[in-house]
Chain A
Amino acid sequence: MFTWIEGTPIAQWVSLSLYAYPMLLAVHIVGLAVVVGIFMMRDLRLIGCFKGLDPVAFLSLSKFAWVGFILNAISGVMLFTSQAVTFAGNLAFLIKIVCIIVGMALAGVIQSRLRADTQGGVDVVISRFTRTLAVCSLLTWTGAIIAGRLVAYII
């Protein structure tokens, strides 16, 4: 199947065009900064940093994280197609994908927990459960960045 993917027109374009691969990588780094940046700030806030900042802000900020995620899903799939066989057999790549799936699932749960926790109004109390989720989320995005960078170093 991965060999077939490498033969598709998109894969051919990404691997043969002089500009496609670097341009997609460039888009991918901006998406990374948006997604990991926003989620990292949210998680740090939930575990007690930046006390002055109302955590409710992250309910609306998550929309920007989703835009970044879609940007990276598209650029990521396109980058993947060009070397599907290599990536599919790369342990670091597989770990990265698992981390991203867990991180996005956690983002969904944290979003609904945050909505519940902040219903009370001004004096927001972040529940212990939400804080635990935030720690898990920080760990998954840390894992995604480390694994993602190591993709280039592991054969």
Chain B
Amino acid sequence: MLDSIVSFVDGSALNQWIVAAYWIWPILEIIHFFGLSLLFGGLLVIDLRLAGHFRRLDPTATHSLIPAVLLGFAMNLVTGILFFFGDPVTYAYNAAFQLKMILIVAAGLNAMFYYWKVSPQMHAWTAQTTPPLVAKVVGYTSLALWTTILLCGRLIPYVGEYLGTGN
């Protein structure tokens, strides 16, 4: 499957455009860094409050940060896809990239669990409520996953191939 994705992307019009426009790469990187700051900064506030820090805050008040988190994620999804189109062979078979993608899916599942199982109970919480264990686990899991995603992303250029060579 990896090979067919790579052969579809490699040589496509978008791939050729990104390869030719060398100045696009640093611009994409800068946007990717802003996106990760928005995403991680927002999640720090949301997840730490969820886990029981900053009790002065109304428990659901942090939900106003969710649009910023989603905006950061959208920025990084778009720039990330463009990175992949710019250099599909390097990314597709890279162990750090593969782990990063798996962890992003895991973080997404964790967020869905929060949305459907934890968030609905939060309206009953007061500022003094000690969050249930499940809320703490979801909050800290989210932060641990995104921290590891950041580490994996930064290590992509330094890590070797995994799952075949594409040749």
Q: Chain A residues in contact with chain B, CB under 8 A?
A: 22, 25-26, 28-30, 32-34, 36-41, 44, 49-54, 56-57, 60-61, 64, 141-142, 145-146, 148-150, 152-153
Contact = CB atoms under 8 A, between A and B. Distances in A.
A41 B54 contact: no
Interface in B42-67: 42, 44-45, 48-49, 53-54, 56-58, 61-65
B105 to A, nearest CB: 20
B54 A57 contact: yes
B135 interface: no
Contacts of B45: 38, 41, 53, 57, 61
B29 interface: yes
B38 interface: yes
Q: Is the interface of A mostly helix, strand, loop or mixed?
A: helix
B41 A30 contact: no
Nearest to A142: B34
Contact of A29 (B44, B65, B151): B151
21 contacts: A22-B157, A25-B155, A26-B150, A26-B154, A29-B36, A29-B154, A30-B151, A33-B41, A34-B41, A37-B40, A40-B37, A41-B41, A50-B64, A53-B64, A53-B65, A54-B58, A54-B61, A57-B49, A149-B30, A152-B26, A153-B26
Contact of B41 (A29, A38, A148, A153): A38
A45 B61 CA distance: 12
Contacts of B155: 22, 25-26
Contact of B68 (A25, A49, A153): A49
Interface string B131-162: 00000000000000001001101110110000
B147 A30 contact: yes
